[in-house]
Amino acid sequence: MSLSRPIAARPQPARIARWLLLVAFMVFAMVVVGGITRLTESGLSMVRWEPISGIVPPLNAAQWHAEFDAYKATPEYLKINRGMSLDEFKGIFFWEYLHRVIGRLIGIVFALPLAWFAWKRMIPRGYGPRLILLLALGGLQGAIGWWMVASGLIDRPDVSHIRLAVHLLTALLILAALVWTALDLFDLQRNPDARPARLTGIAALAFLVLFVQLMLGAFTAGLDAGYAFAEWPTMGGRLFPEGVAFLKPLWVNLVDNPIVVQFVHRWFAWVAAAILLSLAWAAHKAGVKGPVHAIATFLILQIGLGIATLLTGVDIHVAVAHQAVGALLVASTAWTAQRLGKARRA
């Protein structure tokens, strides 16, 4: 039997695009489960990073007790959860385990078809490097996830909010890139001479302000800043609360001061909304329809859910919905930006 490489097949842009959208859906699911993991404080329940063997959960009482004993040595257990029962531990272990399993499945669902498409020479010219970069970003994301978890296993009972933000933003960057690349490939299927859509100035600005807002949201979650004031639009009955102890130097408050972070996250949302609506308007003038409606809808939902998250004292269902819609807003921004870039290139 010959193992020689097959003769080059005809490129399959639409087939590859559908595969990328499947991976994008899985990334979206992982972002949602990641939000649940964070809100249930489950992220530090698995104290080892075992990319291969870690896919097998504890299967008997002895293995469960071994996992629980390892967790008992962590700062989170010693300072917060001391006295937790084994059944309670299993509850938090489930979400972190599910989060990691989805990550591994994404890697498999991306890497194996990519290798097959490459072997069959089905990848259109110019798209191979982009797909390899996406694969590399996925691998990096796994390492970032462990880097984040490791920050809560030494001398603090929670993960670094900065590393949490890096982890979330990398996932959303991958999501946006998957959507954009899939749309470029659908265009190529319709027109073999189509070139990839270009990133316009308004789209670049929209991505920038949206990711800053999402970073502030991750800081808010990581610092538990959302619990500080269950009211809106005021904080403690004022636009900005009294008696706030500021950190030095002053800029550090934008990163490490929970009150300042929540305040900025509240009001920078309107800057992000204005820029995103400007992107939608530019796309509308260029004749783009569906993506414009999507970005407007998710923007309204996201603002409403953000306010509701505060007013409900960070109810887990509302907060998870807030993170989920944030991911959908990223995807719809990528959709709108790609269609605008395509319209302006035409």
Contacts by 252-256 with C-beta closer than 8 Å and gap 24+?
A: 255/162, 255/219, 256/223
Strand stretches in the chain, DSSP E: none
CB 262 within 8 A of CB 269: no
Strand partners, 235: 238
**257, 269, 271: which is closest to 228 by C-alpha?**
257
Degrees (nearest 5) of the Cα angle 218, 102, 150? 50
| Residue 317 annotated as lining a ligand binding site | no
Name residue, tokens 């809560």: 152
Q: What is the C-alpha to C-alpha distance for residues 17 and 19, in angstroms, rounded to an integer? A: 5
**117, 191, 150, 125: which is closest to 49 by C-alpha?**
150
Degrees (nearest 5) of the Cα angle 209, 172, 295? 60
Query: Residue 146 corresponds to which tokens in the numbers above?
Result: 């462990």
| Residue 65 annotated as lining a ligand binding site | no
Other CB atoms within 10 Å distance of the CB of residue 112: 10
CB 182 within 8 A of CB 20: yes
CB 171 within 8 A of CB 34: yes
CB 206 within 8 A of CB 276: yes
Output the known binding site: 265, 322
For the annotated binding site for heme, the residues are: 265, 322
